[in-house]
A and B are shown apart, each in its own frame.
Chain A
Amino acid sequence: MNKLVANVQEAVKDIESGMTLMLGGFGLCGIPENCIAALVKKGITNLTCISNNAGVDDFGLGLLLQKRQIKKMISSYVGENDEFERQMLSGELEVDLIPQGSLAARCQAGGSGVPAFFTPAGYGTEVAFGKEVRYFDGKPHILEHALSADFAIVKAWKGDRYGNLLFKGTARNFNPLMAMAGQITIAEVEELVEPGELDPNTIHTPGIFVQRIFQGEKYEKRIEQRTVRQRENS
């Protein structure tokens, strides 16, 4: 098994205008920086992007929004991005906002052979419009469908050419779930290691879910809300 591709250009070579993409990350934490930069450069348009957030104005998916490359966003939270809000309120950008837990479960279902499931989240709100309602143990639930994508693009800390992935800290978030749901899953990693170096007991994403892997470059890993406590004087 060798899923290694030479670089980011090769990894994204057949992503075309009009496709649906899943992109891992929470805020700017654990986003596939190299692939996003390559998609901006490729100049493809009319993308549907499934991602918990939409980046900030000048980083992450905000870069694709600036260039009007995204037709539709499927997300749970899109604050911290003025250009996004402007495009959404003016109707230039289609937006499907869905509860975060439902988004995670819909990605996981998409990669797991589960076409749909019932959840209590969103019952009685506009999220439930047009959705089947069923009662379980006397409580209302709404039917949510699995999500899938032409490409899922994830970012891991370490990975090997078999496609096995290890994430670091809270950069894990949506990445393992989206990795399961792509027709083709591309993983960019900070550090490519030899098969056997990752302890099989600790692998987060088994290689079967990944079709292409490459070592990314020049990670900026921007912090959205740098928050610190002061050192006590000693």
Chain B
Amino acid sequence: MLDKKGIAKRIAQELRHNWYVNLGIGIPTLIANYIPEGIDVEFQSENGILGMGPFPLEGEEDADMINAGKQTITPMPGASIFDSATSFAMIRGKHIQLTVLGAMEVADNGDIANWKIPGRMVKGMGGAMDLVASADNIIVAMMHTNKRGESKLLKQCSLPLTGVKCVKKVVTNLAVLDITPEGFKLIERAPGVTVEEIKNATEGRLIVEGNIPEMKID
């Protein structure tokens, strides 16, 4: 089974040279720590920076330089800064090659819910609805089950949707799954996890074809 870092490491393997990438808050943010060697990517943060770099050294924090999670950051050489309308022009205009975000629920048709639990928690969608409505390549990074042990990979989302039929791939602590017209297709197992365990933790339609390889994670 993977921890959150492991999920980030596995998704980092999906990065390709010269891609512009938007990483959501939480597990996705960790992906920036595991960029494969020889791959040059630029991270976009929707509050208005392209070329987001590492956190600042202690004492060098700048209140005017943050990411979408409101964390202090530094710009990389070659970074650019812009207003929110320009930022979402990049997002809606399909100039970003990969979007990774977290989710509360994903359905086997690619629907995603990640912004609201009616009557209990309402934080807002932030930029998530714009991102999922336009991006061609959306990966969800999340745990396979919730705190009560219930599957987060469902036939149908029970929570208010963020977007419809948009997620292409899900990477969890148990597995890598592609979203296909027939449902979740199991691509890889996390180290030490059996197909049976993945079946038990997946409520949505699951396709298992042939031998399912174990992920290779450093």
Contacts and interface: CB of A to CB of B under 8 A. Distances in A.
Contacts of B126: 76-77, 99-100
B: interface residue count bin: 35 or more
A126 B160 contact: yes
Interface string B77-115: 000011111011001100000000000000000010000
Interface string A187-225: 000000000000000001000000000000000011111
A229 B129 contact: no
Contact of B56 (A79, A120, A228): A228
B146 interface: no
B186 interface: no
A100 B85 contact: no
Given A123-B133, A170-B64, A229-B56, 13 more contacts: A85-B121, A85-B123, A99-B133, A101-B46, A102-B130, A104-B88, A119-B130, A127-B129, A172-B82, A175-B83, A204-B83, A228-B60, A228-B72
Contact of A169 (B57, B60, B64): B64
B214 to A, nearest CB: 32
B72 A226 contact: yes
Nearest to A102: B130
Given A26-B66, A125-B163, A229-B56, A170 B123 contact: no
Contact of A29 (B54, B59, B63, B120): B63
B102 to A, nearest CB: 13
A121 interface: yes
Contact of B130 (A100, A108, A221): A100
Contacts of B197: none
Interface of A: 26-30, 52, 75-80, 85, 88-89, 95, 97-105, 107-108, 119-127, 157, 168-177, 204, 221-231
Interface of B: 45-49, 54-73, 81-85, 87-88, 91-92, 111, 119-130, 133-134, 160-164
The 10 closest A-B pairs by CB, nearest first: A101-B88, A101-B130, A124-B164, A169-B64, A79-B123, A221-B63, A104-B84, A99-B129, A77-B126, A77-B124
Interface-centre pick from B82, B127, B160 (highest chain A CB count, 10 A): B127
A124 to B, nearest CB: 4
Contacts of A168: 64
A175 B73 CA distance: 20
A101 B81 contact: no
A124 B47 CA distance: 25
A99 B130 contact: yes
15 contacts: A26-B48, A26-B70, A27-B66, A76-B124, A89-B119, A95-B122, A97-B122, A102-B130, A104-B85, A122-B129, A124-B163, A126-B160, A222-B63, A228-B56, A228-B58
